[in-house]
């Protein structure tokens, strides 16, 4: 990061001005995280103290972010599975966008009809209003991501896992298989191959067909099942 001439003229330098402001923002973020992790502790005393299986709904957790990027597994299930290939395109697209982001100002947006006026108006602005207007694209992007993370994550029952997955529940529920890779390649692969999820079948017979809208039985132990297991562990297991 280098100081631009315009910044120097206004007496703003990477050090100390920007670095101090950024540090304050990040310290506030860390404070929020510490507060949340103290207020909503992950239950770990099972099987002596067992949480409710639905525990964790609407409680912010790191899992929310993963759930956003796994939405493909939620919507592209059953006959829609062939569209799963588009999933990696979104992160790749984002990566390419971020790589070229520093060159964005080189794109001659003023040549786009209609945009010229808007850009000139924005350039004429001063002070904090200018700052806010210039931040609109970034804020809009952050807002979309935030809404997406919330909408895909808030239903997840992420604190209730040990209510079922604890040492009192016998093999397969608590201790991982001795050879996880082998288990995934053989036993779990077999379950995915032959299994059809009953509750999904009932829903399909009733015509609702689940979230994907398709009128077929849902898979068992596949990625879509795993997501349903997180959203509705008492219904999908």
Going 138 to 142 to 145 to 148, the CA torsion angle's sign is: negative
Q: Which of 72, 157, 166, 220 binds ligand HEC (CB under 6 A)?
A: 157
Taking phi first (over 0 means left), then psi (-120 to 50 degrees means alpha), and beta for anything else, what does residue 78 get?
A: left
CA max distance for the chain:
70
Total residue length of the chain: 237
In terms of Cβ atoms closer than 10 Å to its own Cβ (0-12, 13-18, 19+), residue 58 is: exposed
Mark the segment that binds ligand HEC (CB under 6 A) among 11-19, 71-79, 110-118, 160-168.
160-168
Which member of 17, 87, 229, 232 binds ligand HEC (CB under 6 A)? 229
Paired tokens of 131: 């700052």
Is 46 a binding residue for ligand HEC by CB under 6 A? The answer is no
Contact residue for ligand HEC among 50, 87, 149, 164 (CB under 6 A): 164
Query: Could you tell me which stretch among 40-48, 71-79, 147-155, 162-170 binds ligand HEC (CB under 6 A)?
Result: 162-170
Cα separation of 146 and 134, whole Å?
Answer: 20
The reply on whether position 228 binds ligand HEC by CB under 6 A is: no
CA distances from 169 to 144, 160, 176, 234 (A): 41, 14, 13, 15
Nearer to ligand HEC, 18 or 237 (CB): 237
Give min distance, CB of 234 to ligand HEC, in A. Answer: 5
Is 198 a binder of ligand HEC (CB under 6 A)? no
Tell the smallest beta-carbon distance from residue 150 to ligand HEC (Å): 17
Cα–Cα distance for residue pair 12/18, rounded to 1 Å? 8
Q: Which of 40, 188, 199, 201 binds ligand HEC (CB under 6 A)?
A: 188
Q: Residue 217 or residue 228: which is nearer to ligand HEC going by CB? A: 228
Q: Give dist(CA 159, CA 53) in Å, integer.
A: 8
| Residues lying near ligand HEC in the complex (CB under 6 A) | 53, 157-158, 160-161, 163-165, 172-173, 188, 221, 229-230, 233-234, 237
């Amino acid at each position: 990061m280098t100081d631009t001439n315009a910044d120097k003229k206004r007496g703003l330098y990477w050090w100390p001005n920007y670095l101090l402001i950024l540090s304050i923002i990040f310290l506030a973020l860390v404070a929020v995280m510490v507060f949340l992790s103290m207020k909503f502790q992950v239950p770990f005393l099972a099987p002596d103290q067992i949480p409710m299986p639905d525990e964790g709904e609407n409680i912010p957790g790191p899992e929310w972010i993963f759930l956003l990027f796994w939405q493909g597994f939620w919507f592209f299930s059953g006959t829609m599975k062939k569209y799963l290939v588009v999933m990696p395109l979104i992160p790749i697209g984002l990566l390419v966008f971020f790589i070229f982001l520093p060159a964005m100002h080189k794109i001659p947006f003023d040549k786009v009809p209609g945009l010229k006026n808007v850009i000139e108006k924005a350039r004429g602005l001063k002070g904090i209003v200018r700052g806010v207007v210039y931040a609109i694209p970034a804020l809009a992007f952050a807002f979309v991501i935030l809404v997406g993370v919330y909408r895909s994550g808030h239903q997840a029952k992420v604190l209730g896992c040990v209510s079922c997955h604890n040492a009192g529940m016998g093999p397969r529920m608590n201790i991982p298989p001795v050879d996880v890779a082998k288990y995934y390649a053989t036993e779990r692969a077999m379950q995915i191959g032959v299994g059809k999820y009953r509750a999904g079948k009932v829903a399909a017979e009733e015509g609702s067909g689940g979230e994907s809208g398709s009128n077929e039985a849902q898979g068992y132990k596949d990625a879509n099942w795993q997501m349903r297991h997180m959203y509705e562990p008492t219904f999908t297991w």
